[in-house]
């Protein structure tokens, strides 16, 4: 199993451009999460999903949108990128129920100029 | 507001030394997890503690959950260079399992 796969691994955007980050998991997990990691800030939850077709806001949702049309995929969109969105983005998934372990992807490093 | 405070933020030690990393909060968590993250990779779960006062051991790593479920510690005995990494604690609250992460402790073990 590949686990959690994020694409792309690196991306450079200009201010105002849009892009979509893709997260795919092959473990049939119900829950999926998007985090951003910034120096000195730790991991902060952007959006999450508790199942196919559902999404919810996390701690820092402004400027981002998400979709979970298929159970295995969780997309994170930036409609109009800003320099403040320069960060490393991590996707994670969890089986659900009493299973507490989060599986993380290897991250996407995004720079907005 | 940072709900989980980790200390120290940075730690550089020599191989063979012991160390303790702390994770403190004023909030109660249903469970607390410890992750290790290496450069260019996502965090990997080390352990989950659920019960107040619980102690779990993973080889040279000992994890403890405070009696009030507000704090936790990670103790490493005889640290090795392979222990180098960013150690993150994360507290869980609510049925949707939204984890709150601490800022992490960057550990460097020098040979």
CB atoms within 10 A of CB B105: 22
pLDDT at A39: 87
> Which residues of chain A have a CB within 8 Å of the CB of B104?
42
pLDDT at B96: 62
CB-CB under 8 Å, B43 with A42: no
Nearest CA in chain A to B91: A100
pLDDT at A2: 78
pLDDT at B97: 66
Nearest CB to A90 within list B42, B96, B98: B42
Q: Of B5, B18, B7, B6, nearest to B83 (Cα)?
A: B18
The three-class DSSP label of residue A69 is coil
Residue A85 has φ and ψ, to the nearest 5°, of -95, 5
pLDDT at A55: 96
Distance from CA of A17 to the nearest CA of B (A): 25
B56 touching A, CB under 8 A? no
**Residues of A engaging B, defined by a Cβ cutoff of 8 Å:** 4, 31, 33, 35, 40-45, 48, 50, 56, 58, 90, 92, 94, 100-102, 104-107
pLDDT at B79: 97
Cβ atoms of B78 and B19 closer than 8 Å: no
Distance from CA of A14 to the nearest CA of B (A): 23
Least confident of A1-10, A16-25, B7-16: A1-10
Query: Which of A42, A90, A107 best probes binding to B when mutated, by most B CB atoms within 10 angstroms?
Result: A42
Q: What is the pLDDT of residues A34-53, one digit of tens each?
A: 999 998 888 999 999 999 99
pLDDT grade for A97, boundaries at 50, 70 and 90: confident
Over its length of 111 residues, how does chain B's per-residue pLDDT go in tens digits?
558 999 999 999 999 999 999 999 988 888 899 999 999 999 999 999 989 999 999 999 999 999 998 999 999 999 999 999 999 999 987 766 678 899 999 999 999
Strand ranges, E, within chain A: 4-7, 10-13, 19-25, 31-38, 42-49, 56-57, 64-67, 73-78, 87-94, 103-104, 108-112
Under 8 Å CB pairs connecting chains A and B tally to 53
Distance from CA of A80 to the nearest CA of B (A): 26
pLDDT at B2: 55
C-alpha to C-alpha distance for A69 and A53, rounded to whole angstroms: 5
C-alpha to C-alpha distance for A32 and A47, rounded to whole angstroms: 9
pLDDT above 60 for A89: yes
Cβ atoms of B23 and B52 closer than 8 Å: no
C-alpha to C-alpha distance for B80 and A14, rounded to whole angstroms: 42
Identify the DSSP state of B17: -
Nearest CB to B97 within list A44, A100, A106: A100
Nearest CA in chain B to A4: B42
């Amino acid at each position: 199993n590949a686990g959690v796969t994020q694409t792309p691994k690196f991306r450079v955007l200009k201010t105002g451009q849009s892009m979509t980050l893709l997260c795919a998991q092959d473990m049939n997990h119900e829950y999926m999460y998007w985090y951003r990691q910034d120096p000195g800030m730790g991991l902060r939850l952007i959006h999450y999903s508790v199942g196919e077709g559902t999404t919810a806001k996390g701690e820092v949702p402004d400027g981002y949108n998400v979709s979970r049309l298929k159970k295995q995929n969780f997309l994170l969109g930036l409609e109009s990128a800003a320099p403040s969105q320069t960060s490393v983005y991590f996707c994670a998934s969890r089986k659900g129920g009493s299973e507490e372990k989060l599986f993380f992807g290897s991250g996407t490093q995004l720079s907005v100029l | 507001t940072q709900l989980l405070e980790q200390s120290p933020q940075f730690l550089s030690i020599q191989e063979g030394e012991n160390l303790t990393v702390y994770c403190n909060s004023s909030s109660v968590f249903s469970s607390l997890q410890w992750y290790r993250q290496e450069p260019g990779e996502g965090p990997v779960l080390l352990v989950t503690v659920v019960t107040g006062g619980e102690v779990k051991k993973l080889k040279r790593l000992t994890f403890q959950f405070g009696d009030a479920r507000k704090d936790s510690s990670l103790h490493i005995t005889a640290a090795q260079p392979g222990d180098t990494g960013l150690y993150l604690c994360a507290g869980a609250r609510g049925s949707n399992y939204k984890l709150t992460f601490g800022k992490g402790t960057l550990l460097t073990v020098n040979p």
